[in-house]
Amino acid sequence: MKDSDRYLKIVEWSEEDGCYLGSALGLIEYCCHGDNEVDVFKQLCTITDEWVNLLNSQHKELPVPIVYQHRAAM
């Protein structure tokens, strides 16, 4: 599993923008958009990988994935 797989990725429709928006909880807010939900998800996965790789290359600590914070509390 890659570090970027730990982040919950969300693609949602925005009535205001008239397109799908992609974000990765705890890592990146809205970072991509488009008319096709699947294409936006693919973009989001690529951006998430690149963002995690950038943080790792700069020896910065990765944010704690929100999806695992919930499980840790159980």
Look at residue 74 in the predicted model and tell me its pLDDT.
54
Where in the chain are the domains?
3-72
β-pairing verdict for 9-14 and 19-24:
antiparallel
| Cα distance between residue 44 and residue 60, in whole Å | 21
Cα separations in angstroms, 58 against 7, 12, 49, 52, 61: 19, 31, 14, 10, 9
Look at residue 62 in the predicted model and tell me its pLDDT.
95
Residue 21 has pLDDT above 90, yes or no: yes
pLDDT in tens, 30-50: 999 999 999 999 999 999 999
Mean pLDDT (the chain, rounded) = 91
Q: How confident is the model at residue 65 (pLDDT cuts 50, 70, 90)?
A: confident
